[in-house]
Structure 1
Amino acid sequence: MSIPEVLFVCVHNAGRSQMAAALLDHHAAGRVVVRSAGSQPADRLNPAVVEAMAEVGLDISKEFPKPLTDDAVQASDVVITMGCGDECPFYPGKTYLDWKLDDPAGQGIDAVRPIRDEIDARVRALLAELLPGDVESK
Structure 2
Amino acid sequence: MSDKPSRPSVLLVCVHNPGRSQMAAGWLTHLSGGRIEVRSAGSAPADQVNPVAVEAMNEVGIDITGAQPKVLTPDAVEASDVVITMDCGDACPIFPGKRYEDWKLDDPAGQGIEAVREIRDEIKNRVEKLLIDLPRT
Give the match's secondary structure for 2:83: strand
User: How many matched pairs?
Assistant: 133
Distance in 1 between the 2:112 and 2:51 partners?
Answer: 9
Instruction: Give TM-score, length-normalised by structure 1.
Output: 0.93
CA distance in 1, matches of 2:23, 2:125: 12
Matched position secondary structure for 2:93: coil
Q: Where does 1:33-52 land on structure 2 (aligned, <5 Å)?
A: 33-52=37-56
State how 1:1-138 maps to structure 2 within 5 Å.
2-131=6-135
Residue 34 of structure 2 aligns with an amino acid whose one-letter code is G
Which ranges in structure 1 are unaligned for 5 or more consecutive residues? none
State, as a whole percentage, how many aligned pairs show the same letter. 67
Taking structure 2 as the reference length, the TM-score comes to 0.94
DSSP-derived class of the 1:80 partner:
strand
- Where 2:25 maps in the other structure, the secondary structure is helix
| Secondary structure, counterpart of 1:3 in structure 2 | coil
Give the CA RMSD over aligned residues. Answer: 1.3
Q: d(CA) in 2 for partners of 1:129 and 1:79?
A: 13
Deviations 1:96-130 (A, max 9, x none): 10000000011111110000000000000100100
User: Any stretches of 5+ residues in structure 2 without a counterpart?
Assistant: none
